[in-house]
Amino acid sequence: MFNTLSDRLTSVLQNLRGKGRLSDADIDATCREIRVALLEADVALPVVRTFIAKIKERAKGAEVSGALNPAQQVIKIVNEELVGILGGETRRLNLAKNPPTVIMLAGLQGAGKTTLAGKLAKWLRGQGHTPMLVACDLQRPNAVNQLQVVGERAGVPVFAPEPGNGVGNPVDVARRGIEEARRAQHDVVVVDTAGRLGVDAELMKQAKDIRDAVEPEEVLFVVDAMIGQDAVNTAQAFADGVGFTGVVLTKLDGDARGGAALSVREVTGQPILFASNGEKLEDFDVFHPDRMASRILG
């Protein structure tokens, strides 16, 4: 995913190696190149600005001491700041004191929500939980069926509106799903919701109504890392319209530039919890900012 960005940054930082001392001019030149590399990778401009300003300040103020030469010191600073924009520490899921924990998924159509519901369910089972999925995407034909298929693959039950009862009301389905989870003693409920191809008021209202009705411990905003700068705008729209507590990046296996996805944490202030990198249920992991930073820096 971040191959191009990774190659660019590695070569910029490589140019510093072998220098015994870094002048302010060396640092300025390096920062200019890092800035271009980040912008070309689609990292949002305000994020790039803050990032570069921090690197510059720290690199110029760095004491040259200890085991690191000046170039290594800059690399260390870039790495630390990259971990910082990605969220620092890994953020764990919030679990309810009184189960079931409710996790609601929100995002545009095609972001990968339904697929993620299956991945999350499988992962939760691996963590010793007894999850249940609730199908509240009643907008897209076949979405309920798709959730039932991923549920079956993940080996978890799916609560869905009964066929023949019309389209149904997603808020009502969400409520009943959680009642059912409580009755059957599932400790985590993952609520899949409808997305649209673009942000619209009706979608936001429906997601907000579901959120208000089920009071989830987590609202996860699911975003396709391949949609470029739109990732930041969409994130902002969901943050304002629904509100979310965490982000899931999907399609990190794609070859797009991906930098916009790197900006989502910084722009919305909400942490990235999980990353999805393929169509199979196991193509999924907890998001580790430090590992992602190392991958980007090569």
Does 251 participate in binding ligand GDP (rule CB under 6 A)? Answer: yes
- Distance CA(212)–CA(216), nearest Å, equals 8
Does 279 participate in binding ligand GDP (rule CB under 6 A)? Answer: yes
Residue length of the chain: 298
The residue among 109 and 130 lying less far from ligand GDP, judged by its C-beta, is 109
The residue among 70 and 195 lying less far from ligand GDP, judged by its C-beta, is 195
Least distance (Å) from ligand GDP to the CB of residue 110? 5
The residue among 93 and 144 lying less far from ligand GDP, judged by its C-beta, is 144
Question: Is there a binding annotation on residue 59?
Answer: no
DSSP characters over the chain? --HHHHHHHHHHHHTTTT-SS--HHHHHHHHHHHHHHHHHTT--HHHHHHHHHHHHHHHHH----TT--HHHHHHHHHHHHHHHHTTSSPPPPP--SSSPEEEEEE--TTSSHHHHHHHHHHHHHHTT--EEEEEE--SSTTHHHHHHHHHHHHT--EE-PPTTS-S--HHHHHHHHHHHHHHTT-SEEEEEE---SS--HHHHHHHHHHHHHH--SEEEEEEEGGGTTHHHHHHHHHHHHT--SEEEEE-TTS-S--HHHHHHHHHH-PPEEEEE-SSSTTSEEE--HHHHHHHHH-
Does 114 participate in binding ligand GDP (rule CB under 6 A)? Answer: yes
* Type of residue at 78: V
The residue among 8 and 119 lying less far from ligand GDP, judged by its C-beta, is 119
With CA atoms as reference, report the closest residue to 276 among 132, 150, 128, 144: 150
Least distance (Å) from ligand GDP to the CB of residue 91? 20
Select from 101, 206, 234, 250 the one that contacts ligand GDP (CB under 6 A): 250
Select from 73, 115, 193, 268 the one that contacts ligand GDP (CB under 6 A): 115
Does 230 participate in binding ligand GDP (rule CB under 6 A)? Answer: no
Does 216 participate in binding ligand GDP (rule CB under 6 A)? Answer: no
Bridge partners of residue 131, in order along the sequence: 188
Least distance (Å) from ligand GDP to the CB of residue 41? 19
Question: Is there a binding annotation on residue 30?
Answer: no
Does 245 participate in binding ligand GDP (rule CB under 6 A)? Answer: no
Residues 81-110 that bind ligand GDP (CB under 6 A): 107, 109-110
The residue among 234 and 250 lying less far from ligand GDP, judged by its C-beta, is 250
Question: Is there a binding annotation on residue 194?
Answer: yes
Does 206 participate in binding ligand GDP (rule CB under 6 A)? Answer: no
Query: CB under 6 A: which stretch of 24-32, 70-78, 90-98, 276-284 binds ligand GDP?
Result: 276-284
Give residues in contact with ligand GDP (CB under 6 A).
107, 109-115, 195, 250-251, 253-254, 276-279, 283
